[in-house]
Structure 1
Amino acid sequence: MSWPGYPDTGAPGYDPYGRPMANPEPVWYPVQPVFAAPPPLPKPRRGTASLVGLSVGFTVIGVFALAVLVYFVQVLPVAILLAASLLAFVPLAIVLVGIWLVDRWEPEPRLALLFAFLWGAAVAVGTALIVDVVVVTAQQIVGAGGGSDLFGAVVQAPIVEEGAKGFGVLLVLWIFRKNFDGPVDGVVYAATVAAGFAFVENIQYFGLQVSDDLQYGVGGLGYVFVVRALMSPFAHVMYTACTGVALGFAARKTGPGGAVGFYFIGLVPAILLHALWNGALSFVTDDGFFVYYLLVQVPIFVAMILLVVLLRRNERHVTHDRLVEYGSVGWFSPDEVQMLSTGAGRRQAKQWAAVNGQSAAMKRFVSTATRLAFTRQRIVKGRADEASRRDEGELLDQLTIARRALQAPAVAFVGYPEPQFGPGPQYGPGQQYPAQQYPGQQYPAQPDPGQHYPGQQYPGQQYPGQQPPQTW
């Protein structure tokens, strides 16, 4: 029996009365599930001591920030304070772009960068202000007057400011030890602390100069802005970077206690460079200052750039050498090692990920692999302690999850559409029913049978130089 306009009863997809069934047989069966949402990355493990240090650190930052704000509101009118803040954003933007360029290979955690910036802007500035008040008060008590400004600029300021900024970098090393891998990281964190300090200090200088210009009509704001914002936006960065580089080597060679010695070693060139700049501002005037700037400060700045370039190149070599070790036991293919250890390879990977809607997954994969390489570097260079081994295991877990996200198809199978009831085509007995096409629905290509997927055991897979965890 059949109804007009409907196929014979009993045809696939139709009930005995010739009407389409609610759940027709699917026209295609995937060999395996076409999509499985990757589980979220496990939250980074942070020890109790780090959590306590972070909490105490942000509390201290909050107290100092409030004190510095009260000081500025008392010293400068609000309108001038806002105008000076806008001017101070110019050198800050220049420095932040420089930090971003240096930090692209292995980006540091935002929380660590925020901590570093706020330490420089609040604690380092507040410490310098407190010491200045104490010194001025002591000079007034003992009646010392002559040469106090020169002493403050050439001796007091370099020691106090570099000590406070450098201690912020040391705290970052202690609290964020897992992410502090070497000299380049030291430069990044030191530059971030210095950026926060210079930003607030520039607000003070610009604000006081605007007040003097309005009161006395001296018109010195242009000169101060050119010297501080355009000629020396990286001045504080260069000084504190000396301490950062020293602490970067400490991160590879010693523990938290040993880093204190590297901190004092790094302070020596930082203080000397700072004193050299402040001394020039005190002794060299008029056109002679610009000659000094070209002959002394510009070469120092170029030398610092060359140092950072060399350190960045070393980072790439470390990434390649350590990932080759993991590749030898199946964690990476040779092409992946080449992609992860070269700038050109990473750019190509990002372009591919953007076209295929996998930008976030590719970013996670590259970041995790790079951190894994530097964790391995710590182990190879003699810091094969329990914490480093644990970090390595966690990063391998994260790498597996990141790879799974990259291997998932971009288009997921979300089910069949609701059937549309109504007159259908006529089919006789034994006729072949064509495959149904669903609006917008696509199926990914079948996987390569020889391709390894997360969760599969690679032949001979193990940790480089160690046994895998028993839970794998």
Structure 2
Amino acid sequence: MTTNEPRPGPDRPGYSPGGRRPLPQQANPTWLGHVRPEYYRQAPPNDRGGFQPVLPPAVAAASALRRGRSSAGLSGLLLAGLFLGFFSLFLVLPFLLGSTGVSGFVIGFVASLIPLGTVLLTVRFIDRWEPEPRPLLLFAFVWGAVVSIAVTMLLQPYFSAVAGPASGLDYTTFAVTVQAPVVEEFAKSLGLLLLLLFARKHFDGPVDGVVFAFTIAAGFAFTENILYFGRAIAESSDPGTEFAVVFFLRGVMSPFAHAIFTGTTGLIMGFAARRWHNGLSVLAFAVGLVPAMLLHSAWNRMGADFLATYLLVQVPIFLLAVLVIVLLRVAERRLTRQRLTEYAAAGWFSAAEVDMLATSGGRRSALRWAKSTGRGPQMKALLEAATQLAFTRQRILSGRDVPAHLLDERHQLAEIASLRAAVVR
């Protein structure tokens, strides 16, 4: 049974020697939500009095602050991204049209929507528990689809001139196995660094890092696919066959290649984001680039033994990525349950409401019930608000920008009370 009361003694879970306040039992439910004793505090008590629980009739036992409502800071970052994207188009679009022709560009654009949709649907699945603000996701996509392409085009000649001769490789081998992995991963991950530095309130863990990285990579792969698909149409004597082969290789066998490369950087930066230190963020950016570049280079080196390497190396890497994502989602749910349990102990939720808010089945049942009564949007907002509240508390307990998050907590608790009233009215 979870309690908010500290339990002293070396035989108790969470005990910390040296005179520091011990942690309550289960305060650290997962590796994702680790907090230290010196930062722990009880949830604020509910002094508003009793409330009517929000529960579907058949589930009684079993963000209001919508993150899509962007703050001025999110709007500013989005505007900066759109500004950079607009001017990057003057470099990227002529290059694409010159390489593919108009017909190749149109066919490549349409065909590229298929792998793009696959990756973005995956992003939506990963991001369902604690959705990121749409302005930030749009920034990430624009950065990947346009800005990172322009950065790549600008940096490649200089990188080739400096590093090419020193590598001792012929130009083609160097361009494929060194230049492309280094420059492209740097260009994509630069967007992650900007998000971490300027939207740190929303980029505060490994799940956020994976979501933003996948979105940036989806945009980059979308534009790159337009180029490859369009060239297959424009430069081949048998465009139909060539296009089918290229589409199968890039659109069917490897739609997640760029996502996995950049996802490793996002994962590492997400862990660093929990410390909220700019120097550590930049260090994590540099460290996270290493596995991304190595994976990218290994992918580009596959040649005559492509199928064997794909099955023996790339498929296991993909399955490992799936496993990591599943573990991250499980950890998010356990963390949400624990933090909401602490609010329940302070009188903000009933135990049955925590079960409803912190499980996928409970959420689905709640939404079905609310939609049947015409209050689906209110219930959806309540579910998102409760999740956001749980993660706000996690930030407080981690000692990150505590005064600002305490203010957020007060606003979120008041908003949850209003949403509960709107659902049960």
TM-score range, shorter chain: 0.7 to 0.9
1:316-327 equivalences under 5 Å are 316-327=333-344
Maintained 8 Å contact 2:144/2:216: yes
Q: 1:105 corresponds to which letter in structure 2?
A: W
Q: 1:392 to 1:174 in 2, by over 3 A?
A: farther
Distance 1:46 1:257 in 2: 25
1:391 aligned onto 2:408: yes
Shift in Å at residue 133 of structure 1? 4.2
Shift in Å at residue 382 of structure 1? 2.6
1:183 aligned onto 2:200: no
The one of 98, 121, 130 aligned to 2:122: 98
Q: 1:278 to 1:41 in 2, by over 3 A?
A: closer
Structure 2 unmatched runs, 5+: 1-63
Distance 1:181 1:135 in 2: 32
1:194 aligned onto 2:217: yes
Q: 1:298 to 1:235 in 2, by over 3 A?
A: same
1:282-297 equivalences under 5 Å are 284-285=303-304, 288-297=305-314
Distance 1:172 1:320 in 2: 27
User: What stretches of structure 1 move > 6 A for 4+ residues in a row?
Assistant: 40-43, 136-140
Residue aligned with 2:277, SS: coil
The one of 261, 272, 296 aligned to 2:294: 272
Q: 1:299 corresponds to which letter in structure 2?
A: P
1:206 aligned onto 2:229: yes
Aligned residue in 2 for 1:348: 365
1:298-447 equivalences under 5 Å are 298-408=315-425
1:187-266 equivalences under 5 Å are 187-214=210-237, 219-266=241-288
Greater mean deviation of Cα atoms: 382-391 or 149-158: 382-391
The one of 171, 177, 191 aligned to 1:148: 171
Distance 2:134 2:281 in 1: 23
Residue aligned with 2:90, SS: helix
Greater mean deviation of Cα atoms: 379-388 or 81-90: 379-388
Larger Rg: 1
Distance 1:150 1:314 in 2: 42
1:60 aligned onto 2:84: yes
Q: 1:368 corresponds to which letter in structure 2?
A: A
Residue aligned with 2:235, SS: helix
Shift in Å at residue 91 of structure 1? 0.9
Distance 1:268 1:146 in 2: 20
Q: Which TM-score applies when normalising by structure 1?
A: 0.71
Aligned residue in 1 for 2:4: none
Paired residues in the alignment total: 360
Shift in Å at residue 146 of structure 1? 6.7
Shift in Å at residue 139 of structure 1? 9.9
Let me know the Cα RMSD of the aligned residues. 2.5
Q: 1:163 corresponds to which letter in structure 2?
A: F
Shift in Å at residue 213 of structure 1? 1.4
Q: 2:185 corresponds to which letter in structure 1?
A: E
Distance 2:186 2:290 in 1: 10
Q: 1:111 to 1:163 in 2, by over 3 A?
A: same
1:80 aligned onto 2:97: no
Q: 1:102 to 1:146 in 2, by over 3 A?
A: closer
Shift in Å at residue 276 of structure 1? 0.6
Residue aligned with 2:201, SS: helix
Shift in Å at residue 136 of structure 1? 6.2
1:110-168 deviation line (CA, Å, top 9, x unaligned) = 1111110010001111111222344567899x9x9971111111111111111111111
Residue aligned with 2:132, SS: coil
Distance 2:384 2:404 in 1: 20
1:404-455 deviation line (CA, Å, top 9, x unaligned) = 22122xxxxxxxxxxxxxxxxxxxxxxxxxxxxxxxxxxxxxxxxxxxxxxx
Maintained 8 Å contact 2:395/2:402: no
Distance 2:268 2:297 in 1: 19
Q: 1:307 to 1:105 in 2, by over 3 A?
A: same
Shift in Å at residue 75 of structure 1? 2.9
Residue aligned with 2:400, SS: coil
Distance 2:224 2:267 in 1: 23
Higher helix share: 2
Maintained 8 Å contact 2:233/2:239: no
Q: 2:320 corresponds to which letter in structure 1?
A: A
Q: 1:167 to 1:398 in 2, by over 3 A?
A: farther
Maintained 8 Å contact 1:242/1:270: yes
Shift in Å at residue 300 of structure 1? 0.4
Shift in Å at residue 45 of structure 1? 7.5
1:33-60 deviation line (CA, Å, top 9, x unaligned) = xxxxxxx969968466x65444333311
1:3-22 equivalences under 5 Å are none
Shift in Å at residue 268 of structure 1? 1.2
Aligned residue in 1 for 2:184: 161
Tell me: higher relative CO, structure 1 or 2? Use CA pairs within 8 A at least 6 residues apart: 2
Distance 1:405 1:41 in 2: 14
Distance 2:343 2:220 in 1: 41
Maintained 8 Å contact 2:160/2:179: no
Residue aligned with 1:75, SS: helix
Maintained 8 Å contact 1:340/1:369: yes
Q: Which TM-score applies when normalising by structure 2?
A: 0.79
Distance 1:299 1:249 in 2: 23
Greater mean deviation of Cα atoms: 216-225 or 364-373: 216-225
